[in-house]
């Protein structure tokens, strides 16, 4: 049985110095592997963001949603 595609949005923020923050929002679609948990998908997305933008390592997640992509 194959999983359906899911749509996600994740927004992260990190303090750079007093009064300055870096904010980043990523959205996209993915098809979780069979048996994957919501937590595993969350971690994969977060690692993808911080891997692409190392300066966001240690950022706080302000928003996360993961929903089936089919309407």
Maximum distance among all alpha carbons in the chain?
50
- For residues 36 and 4, give the distance between their C-alpha atoms in angstroms, rounded to a whole number: 12
Number of domains in the chain: 1
pTM: 0.90
Write out pLDDT tens, residues 23-34. 999 999 999 999
Residue 1 lies in a domain: no
Alpha helix ranges (H) inside the chain: 38-52
Residue 27, in any domain of the structure: yes
| Residue 14 phi, psi dihedral angles, 5° rounding | -140, 135
**Contact between 11 and 62 (Cβ < 8 Å):** yes
Cα–Cα distance for residue pair 33/63, rounded to 1 Å: 23
At residue 3, the pLDDT reads 75
Please give the residue range of the domain that contains residue 56: 6-68
pLDDT tens per residue across span 11-70: 999 998 899 999 999 999 999 999 999 999 999 999 999 999 999 999 999 999 999 999
């Amino acid at each position: 049985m194959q999983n359906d595609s899911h749509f996600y949005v994740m927004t992260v923020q990190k303090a750079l110095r007093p009064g300055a923050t870096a904010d980043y929002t990523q959205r996209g679609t993915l098809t979780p592997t069979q048996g994957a948990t919501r937590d595993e998908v969350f971690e994969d997305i977060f690692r993808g963001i911080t891997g692409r933008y190392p300066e966001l390592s240690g950022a706080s997640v302000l928003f996360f949603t993961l929903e089936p992509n089919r309407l």
